[in-house]
Amino acid sequence: QKEVEQDPGPLSVPEGAIVSLNCTYSNSAFQYFMWYRQYSRKGPELLMYTYSSGNKEDGRFTAQVDKSSKYISLFIRDSQPSDSATYLCAMRGDNNNAGNMLTFGGGTRLMVKP
Amino acid sequence: EPEVTQTPSHQVTQMGQEVILRCVPISNHLYFYWYRQILGQKVEFLVSFYNNEISEKSEIFDDQFSVERPDGSNFTLKIRSTKLEDSAMYFCASSSWTFVFDTEAFFGQGTRLTVV
């Protein structure tokens, strides 16, 4: 079983739609959960960061973590063509060691059509 | 806005040659990372670096790889004898703390390494 799984898509939605992106994971030690956006041939850009379970909202973006189900989600409201990109989930464990590695999902390609 | 800068943006090298990928992390950051992404595959962790030493490394980071912070601003990844399978996008990242207090890990734009 892969450590972090993510549907590769592509996911195609009309402008203004609510987008739901998801990841599942198998390692119960993961405590920090992030969503990155990656445009083609560019570096990942951090969008959202959450610790443990719960919701976090930032503008049009909402991140949800359900540790009991080992399932995380990113919702994008009022999607725009500029949101078209690959969305990567990433996660890490929780210990006092500096510089813990991030484990990434494979990314979901999102296309928002005008 | 502060950013992580990587050079070169694209490097072509012959198999067996040594390459050095360079990064300038954000100036007040203390933790530095290298990740790679083979075309069509996941972003994979290579190594993290703190206080002038490696703090964590993955199984990919074998003896062919090394990292260095030669001065107060640069952070480099050296591949001693490149193989075809080293062809990938290499990302440098830096953070000010270990994901505590809502800090962020910033990624550079990447260096595309092509081994021929």
Q: In chain B, what residues touch A49 (CB-CB under 8 Å)?
A: 99, 102, 104
Asked whether the predicted pLDDT for residue A94 surpasses 80, the reply is no
Q: What is the pLDDT of residues A63-76, one digit of tens each?
A: 999 999 999 999 99
Characterize the bridge pairing of strands A4-5 and A19-25: antiparallel
Å between A76 CA and nearest CA of chain B: 20
Touching check for B44 and chain A: CB below 8 Å?
Answer: yes
Q: Residue B103: which pLDDT band, with cuts at 50, 70 and 90? A: low
Three-state DSSP class for residue A82: helix
Mean pLDDT of chain A: 91
Residues in contact with B111: Cβ distance below 8 Å, sequence separation at least 6, in sequence order: B6, B7, B8, B9, B10, B11, B21, B89, B90
Cα distance between residue B91 and residue B96, in whole Å = 17
Q: What is chain B's Cα-based Rg?
A: 14
- So what's the pLDDT on residue A56? 92
* CB A87 within 8 Å of CB A75: no
Å between A92 CA and nearest CA of chain B: 10
B4-20: average pLDDT: 97
In this predicted structure, which of A14-28, A88-102, B10-24 has the lowest mean pLDDT?
A88-102
Asked whether the predicted pLDDT for residue B100 surpasses 80, the reply is no
Cα distance between residue B80 and residue B74, in whole Å = 19
Cα distance between residue A9 and residue B48, in whole Å = 31
Q: What is the pLDDT of residues A6-15, one digit of tens each?
A: 999 999 999 9
Cα distance between residue A97 and residue B47, in whole Å = 13
Q: How many CB atoms lie within 10 A of CB B73?
A: 11
In this predicted structure, which of A30-34, A104-108, B12-16 has the lowest mean pLDDT?
A30-34
Q: Of A32, A43, A104, which is closest to B108 when you measure between CB atoms?
A: A43
- So what's the pLDDT on residue A98? 45
Å between B75 CA and nearest CA of chain A: 15
Q: Do A98 and B99 touch (CB under 8 A)?
A: no
- So what's the pLDDT on residue B101? 47
Of these ranges, A25-29, A108-112, B50-54, B102-106, the one predicted with the greatest mean pLDDT is: A108-112
